[in-house]
Chain A
Amino acid sequence: MRLLSIAAALALLATPALAEKTSLSVLKLASSGPVFLAQDLGHFAAEGLEVEFKFFAAAQPVAVAVVSGDAEFGVTGLTAGFYNLAGKGALKIIAGQSREQPGYKLSAYMVSNQAFAAGVRSPADFGGRSFAMTQVGSTFHYMIGLLAEKKGFDLSKNRLLALQSIPNMVSALQGGQADTAILPSTVAVPMMDRGDAKIVGWAGDETPWQLGALFTSPKMIDTKKATVERFVRAYKKGVAAYDLAFQKKGDQAATDKALDILARYTEQQKGAIAAGLPYIEPEARFSARDIAKQVAYWQAQGQADKSIEAKDIVVTTFVSSID
């Protein structure tokens, strides 16, 4: 009895003392679901990690926070800016996050009412039309590039409008200042419902690609490899929980619970989250070939430095590549 209580007291003392503090920069989006699940279901704690979330509003600062040392890990979408930082030896991709995948309604091709009336009825009609996006080098910019490649239109004939923020894009599309845009489903579906613009397709159906990744600094891999390994193990359990809840969908109770957790972390309505959940590879793997393709695309566009080698950016020792 006495021994038992000592053991219990020791266990109580031991758990917090052993927990290693680490930090993760992240967006409050459903695509970050696996890390929220890993945190809430105790997978990080089980690996002896106490993870502090640092929330940002855009993909760029998430990557910058890891470079500046404000966070040890980051998880977000891959942009030309990310590759320029990674190319200077500041970031390494260690696991996969969201993918654009057929059947997953993540990013919508949108057309303004005026352009729709003028005959822009499908993604194939996007050639030569003005296109609203957030920034040069953003994931939206890449997706219109992929679409141009697939449908065979010359992107240099499109007027690309970098409007810096999603509200500005919505405004431009509403007013007919921009003919087309790609918007996240959480924004696109309400716009369509209000009759402000038309959805004519989904990027996942047309051009699947590796949208997001988990990354860290090379210094972390060199000096705290065990921490990285434990972090990735817990992350993979979060991804598995995400897969079970939203992709395998066998267990309704697990789905409801996961949706509750995501709603709490992202501060969004459950309905909006459920409608726009991205695909995440069940074992958190990523496509190194797709990363190389992205780097080559940005280099060809002059948005990424020619010196960047895709193979130096990815590390496949923690999670293997799909290809």
Chain B
Amino acid sequence: MMAPLRFRGGGFTIQPKRHTGWIAGLAVIAIWQGASSAGWVSPIFLPSPAGIAQALADMALSGQLWRHLAASLKRIVAGFVLGGSAGLAIGLALGLLSHVRAAGLPIISALFPIPKIALLPLFILWFGIGEPSKVATIALGVFFPMAIATYSGVDQVPRTLIRMAQSFDVPALAIVGKVILPGALPGILAGVRISASIGLVLVVAAEMIGAEFGVGAYILTAGNLMRTEDLLAGVCLLSVLGITVGFAVSAAERRLLGWRQ
């Protein structure tokens, strides 16, 4: 009689751990604060978490926080909507139309790696130093990853599904709407996740051009004045925006991709 085999599968399955993330984060902050309080870390080189919290509190109390956040959010949303929708449209065209793909892919490959910051003097001449140049910087940064993600998302839709729809004589537009778009959606949402983060990165670059208010302008000014607490406080704001965007995209994924289960 053989003893029943022990279950040996499932060893590396990742389980959701709700508290570990918080505990790890708090532990890092506690160690950092401890090192600062004990005087091991000079405040010139790395300000303490308490100093950064103080800078954030000062900003919130003086009302500057909302002014900076509002100015930046306006630019990010406008740039993301403009660049993202253009990227989506061009990406779909690249994925669906042979001529557009043949002509467009080399152009995109040529333009994508241009650092947007290098173009700032030109942007000032083209768009001025008001809002348009800032929105354009973000829109341009968002456009390319969005176009590429959409294109490869469309490309990865299983050919068999498309051929099946074709053999049932489904009209071309309906195939795009009912087969290709839903099939490409995971890729498109991954593109949204990446390009939204790139929008946050670029808000600092965009606000290099004569911005009085905005999280990026605040970070730049703090850096120029060597106020390291304020600088890291601004960086924290960007991180919080990044986490918020991440949550929003995850929620959208759960909602829009529920059909996959």
Contact = CB atoms under 8 A, between A and B. Distances in A.
Contact of B226 (A84, A172, A174): A84
A82 B224 CA distance: 9
A161 B45 CA distance: 29
Chain B contact residues: over half helix, strand or loop, or mixed? loop
A158 B79 CA distance: 28
A15 to B, nearest CB: 37
B43 A88 contact: yes
A287 interface: no
B224 to A, nearest CB: 4
Contact of A60 (B128, B217, B224): B224
B227 interface: yes
Given A172-B124, A175-B124, A175-B125, A80 B225 contact: yes
A165 to B, nearest CB: 8
Contacts, number: 77
Contacts of B103: none
Interface string B222-244: 00111100000000000000000
Interface string B206-231: 00111110000100110011110000
B210 A132 contact: yes
A164 interface: yes
Interface residues of A, number: 35
Top 8 A-B pairs, shortest CB-CB distance: A161-B210, A171-B121, A135-B224, A81-B226, A164-B208, A171-B124, A84-B226, A177-B129
Interface of A: 60, 63-64, 67-68, 79-82, 84-85, 88, 90, 132, 135-138, 160-165, 167-168, 170-172, 174-175, 177-178, 303-304
19 contacts: A79-B224, A80-B225, A81-B226, A85-B44, A90-B44, A135-B220, A137-B221, A138-B224, A161-B129, A163-B129, A163-B208, A164-B120, A164-B209, A165-B120, A167-B121, A171-B125, A172-B129, A174-B125, A175-B128
Interface of B: 43-45, 120-122, 124-125, 128-129, 208-212, 217, 220-221, 224-227
